[in-house]
Amino acid sequence: MAAPPRLADLARRSVGSVPLAVRLMLLSLVPAAVAILLAMSVLARHHLTELTELTENNARAVARQVATLSRTSLMRMDRRAMLNAARVGSQQPGVRQVQIRTLDGEIVAQSGFWTKPTDPPGLEVLEPIDSEESARAGEVMVEFDLDSIAAARRNLWSTLAALLGASLLGVGIAGWWAARRISAPIRKLAEVVDRLGEGEEVEVDTGATAEVGRLQHGFKVAAQALADSRRTMKSQIVQATQELALKNAQLEAANQGKTRLLAAASHDLRQPLHALTLFADALRSDETDPPRLACIASIQECVHSLDRLFSELLNLSQIDAGAVRVQRAVFPLDHLFDDISRNFRPQAEEQGLRLVVRKTDAWVDCDYVMLSRILNNLVSNALRHTTQGGVLVGARRDAGGMRIGVWDTGVGIAPEHQHKVFEEFYQVDASSSRGSRGLGLGLATVRRLCDLLDMPLRLQSRVGRGTVVTVVAPAAAPAEVPPSCPAQGAQVDFTGMFMLVVDDEPNILEGLSLVLRNWGAEVAVAESRAQVLALAGQWARPPDVVITDLLLRDGENGLEVLRALDAHPGMGGRRAARLLVTGETKPDRLREIAEAGIAVLHKPVTSEVLRQALAAVLRDARGDRYLTA
């Protein structure tokens, strides 16, 4: 039942693919061919009928002639005379044979060719032989050959075929010419449509008449309207593009202004915070009274909270500045998990939560520091937004690498917020979270670091049930574990070491000097390049370590001070270990520090962090493998 519609559709598609000129030509050729065939068939049939009748009349005339000649001889039964009469008839053109028969059918005379059963039949004509008494005495049969009629028929059909071919050719040529002439304006319209579709400006010829002319005129009006609309749209697109470029430039300027503002604010606030950290550490080292130790601990906790906020700003500033370089290494993931457990377990227990870090034998090929920062931010965020239950950190192998996840049983994130929490400064309502409210940069930093490491990042959450954030790190085969180094920063003895401190903030100089002297070091301080070079011309021995800020007063630079000090004769050709302690977060400054290759700490710095950093730079300077940070 479905076949006819399919055939009809196929026929319509086939016809639709035929050009208009061909269809017009066929439209004129097919009726003309049918009419010519009908006319020629009628004429041929009429001609053949006349030819057959003429042949039959000829045969009948021969039969009458033979009947007349043989009437007397038949009455006398003169066979010789009858044979002569038959011969006279058979000699006529087209006569195959002549027979003279009696009334009882006896053939008394015959002349002509004897027909075989296989010969094609001829045209037989019977003519009676009347006696003198008007009684029938016999009959004459004349068989006329039809080969002439067949030859005439063949000639006729050949002639008709030639005439038909010539007629169809003439009609086809005339039809093709007329079709081409009729379809020419439509073809031109089609070409105009193609050019119009390619966006060209077109001119429509309206020289045709009647319906095609009206079509050309209407299309010309439509093409002009479309061209006007296209020109208007182009101008609007150009205007919109210019406005977009202007807005992008404004956004870029605003973003740069934001970065500069954050960097300047961070630098100016880090300076007194750094001094406060140093003074608090110095006070704690000599204090034994429990109430005072509790006050100092509260101060240090507040300083730590501010430091965390500044660190979030610094991390984004470093990434924006391009100062963060990926340093991949193959390491056991369990080492990183141990650090997370050690750093966050006290905080979890203080909040009455469980922190579960599952052991793993997996190894990854990643940047240890960046991956540590990612997981630290995720765990810290999970603990902040979890009020009961706990946090789980685990890893499992995946087709794409090692899938590391942080699960929590916290308040969860609504679907409308899930795609925004990785944006800078975006925060969901923190009414149900614990601790101080952050800046909304922790997850933004996670996203930036994952982009740098080319690691997939995925978040799934249900309100009231919890959240899971997963990252996929490249898996690696286990490598040889390097032997652990026994020395830590707290085990290094700085007694008797000579340290030079350069900073333009007197409070920082005083606080840092107190901390270093409490460790047994000899300390010299300077606020500018001139003071450093003056000290270099007086000291008895060059310093073991130089601790300097990046930006000093009057536009001086700590890196330039270090270079000038290295070239001073007072150094005796030696190069002291150097440590840069700065509150600078501007992108260009961060790039400058990274290119210098000098160890750097960002203010505020606790005494423990400072001690480990000093141990690290001394190890690098002396080549001592037991001095580690």
Residue 124 lies inside a defined structural domain of this protein: yes
Verify that 455 and 523 share a domain, yes or no: no
pLDDT of residue 9: 61
More confident residue, 310 or 558: 558
What single string gives the DSSP state of each residue in 176-205? Answer: HHHHHHHHHHHHHHHHHHHHHHTT------
The answer on pLDDT for 111 being more than 70 is yes
- pLDDT confidence tier of residue 499, bands split at 50, 70 and 90: very high
Residue 470, token pair as written in the block: 């997963």
Residue 46: CB atoms within 10 Å: 10
User: What mean pLDDT comes out for the span 164-183?
Assistant: 76
User: What mean pLDDT comes out for the span 256-274?
Assistant: 62
Verify that 354 and 444 share a domain, yes or no: yes
Cα 77 from Cα 351, distance rounded (Å): 155
The answer on pLDDT for 90 being more than 70 is yes
pTM: 0.44
pLDDT 10s digits, 533-554:
999 889 889 999 999 988 888 8
Residue 352 lies inside a defined structural domain of this protein: yes
Residue 23 lies inside a defined structural domain of this protein: yes
Cα 437 from Cα 21, distance rounded (Å): 79
Cα 144 from Cα 152, distance rounded (Å): 15
Verify that 63 and 95 share a domain, yes or no: yes
The CATH number of residue 578's host domain is 3.40.50.2300
Instruction: Give the DSSP H or E segment for 588.
Output: helix 587-596
Domain stop point among 135, 167, 202: 202
The answer on pLDDT for 404 being more than 90 is yes
The answer on pLDDT for 621 being more than 60 is yes
Residue owning tokens 């574990």: 481
Domain stop point among 202, 222, 253: 202
- pLDDT confidence tier of residue 624, bands split at 50, 70 and 90: very low
pLDDT mean across residues, the chain: 78
DSSP state of 551: B
pLDDT of residue 511: 85
Beta-sheet pairing, 577-582 with 600-602: parallel
Could you tell me the CA-to-CA distances from 30 to 36, 43, 161, 292, 626 in Å, in that order? Answer: 10, 20, 16, 116, 105
User: What mean pLDDT comes out for the span 79-89?
Assistant: 87
Verify that 521 and 391 share a domain, yes or no: no
Verify that 40 and 185 share a domain, yes or no: yes
Asked if residue 387 lies in contact with residue 432, where contact means CB atoms within 8 angstroms, the answer is yes
Phi and psi torsions of 170, nearest 5°: -65, -45
DSSP state of 116: P
Cα 552 from Cα 564, distance rounded (Å): 14
User: What mean pLDDT comes out for the span 54-63?
Assistant: 84
Verify that 553 and 426 share a domain, yes or no: no
- pLDDT confidence tier of residue 211, bands split at 50, 70 and 90: low
Verify that 34 and 113 share a domain, yes or no: yes
User: What mean pLDDT comes out for the span 509-524?
Assistant: 89
Please count the structural domains in the chain. 3
Q: Which of 242-256, 506-520, 564-578 shows the lowest mean pLDDT across its residues?
A: 242-256
Could you tell me the CA-to-CA distances from 542 to 328, 494, 501, 518, 522 in Å, in that order? Answer: 37, 15, 13, 21, 12
Verify that 351 and 400 share a domain, yes or no: yes
Verify that 60 and 158 share a domain, yes or no: yes
pLDDT of residue 133: 67
Verify that 345 and 455 share a domain, yes or no: yes
- The proportion of the chain whose per-residue pLDDT surpasses 70, expressed as a percent, equals 73
pLDDT of residue 501: 93
Q: Which of 433-442, 500-509, 513-522, 570-579 shows the lowest mean pLDDT across its residues?
A: 433-442
Q: Which residue range(s) make up the domain with 23?
A: 19-202
pLDDT of residue 267: 58
Verify that 468 and 502 share a domain, yes or no: no
Q: What angle do CA 600, 603, 606 make, to 5 degrees?
A: 95
Could you tell me the CA-to-CA distances from 61 to 67, 469, 620 in Å, in that order? Answer: 10, 120, 143
pLDDT of residue 488: 43
Which letter, b or e, does each residue of 424-444 get, where b requires 16 or more Cβ atoms within 10 Å of its Cβ?
Answer: beebbeeeebbeeebbbbbbb
pLDDT of residue 333: 92
The answer on pLDDT for 445 being more than 90 is no
The CATH number of residue 87's host domain is 3.30.450.20
The answer on pLDDT for 482 being more than 60 is no
More confident residue, 628 or 101: 101
The CATH number of residue 402's host domain is 3.30.565.10
Residue owning tokens 């982009």: 451
3-state helix, strand, coil in the chain (%, to 5): 55, 15, 25
Max mean pLDDT among 160-164, 439-443, 480-484, 621-625 falls in: 160-164
Residue 379 lies inside a defined structural domain of this protein: yes
pLDDT 10s digits, 344-363:
888 888 889 999 999 999 99
Verify that 178 and 72 share a domain, yes or no: yes
Asked if residue 615 lies in contact with residue 597, where contact means CB atoms within 8 angstroms, the answer is no
User: What mean pLDDT comes out for the span 170-184?
Assistant: 74
Domain stop point among 476, 499, 517: 476
User: What mean pLDDT comes out for the span 392-401?
Assistant: 88
- pLDDT confidence tier of residue 480, bands split at 50, 70 and 90: low
SS3 209: coil
- pLDDT confidence tier of residue 489, bands split at 50, 70 and 90: very low
- pLDDT confidence tier of residue 487, bands split at 50, 70 and 90: very low
pLDDT 10s digits, 23-32:
666 776 777 7
Asked if residue 354 lies in contact with residue 389, where contact means CB atoms within 8 angstroms, the answer is yes
DSSP state of 480: P
pLDDT 10s digits, 325-337:
778 889 999 988 9
Instruction: Give the DSSP H or E segment for 356.
Output: strand 354-357
Asked if residue 367 lies in contact with residue 474, where contact means CB atoms within 8 angstroms, the answer is no
